[in-house]
Structures are given as C-alpha cells and as structure tokens.
Amino acid sequence: MEQDPMQIPICQSCGMPMEVAEDFGTDLDGRKNKEYCQYCWQNGEFTAKMELPEFIETQVKIATEKLGMLEDEARLVAETTLPELKRWQKQ
C-alpha cells in the first residue's frame, strides 16, 4: 500500500502524526481510535482532562524539554495549530 504523506492522520487533540497502529489511542472496546493518539486517548477517554490554555502549556513543555525546541517557537506552533484541531473546536 502506498503512503501519501498528506494522508497521514494527525491526532485531533495534540497534532501528532499517527503513522503506525501503536500511535493511535484506544477506545473502551480496545479498538484503535482513528482521531486521537495513544498519548491523548486511552480506553475511550482523554488521558489529560484540561482546557486548551493548559494543554498548550503542556505541549510547549514537551516540545522544549523533549524535542529541544525553542520556547517561542514551540508556543507559536502550539497556539496556531492546536485551536484548529477537533478537540478544541468550540461547539
């Protein structure tokens, strides 16, 4: 099966690309959830129940500490991409 990079789904909570089965979160019935990654979605619920501003802080922390991004850069990415994702869309 050919992989189109544009077709790689991203987590609708944190924006992480989900390329392999292990990247996907799990629903209550143990099936893979197609919208959220394993870090955000486990057993049918969000692993971290927080509002967007708090989630942005968490993501910035991960990006700077684990990925070595500059804080300004990480914050800009988080603030521009996260509000676009399904989880953070206002109903």
Q: How far is the CB of 15 from Zn ion (least distance, A)?
A: 7
3-state secondary structure of 35: strand
Tokens of 42: 């486990």
**Helical residues (DSSP H) of 44-86, grouped into ranges:** 52-65, 71-81
1 or 47: CB nearest Zn ion: 47
Cα Rg for the chain, rounded, in angstroms? 14
64 or 81: CB nearest Zn ion: 81
Instruction: Report the interface residues with Zn ion, using CB under 5 A.
Output: 11, 13-14, 16, 37, 40
Q: How far is the CB of 4 from Zn ion (least distance, A)?
A: 21
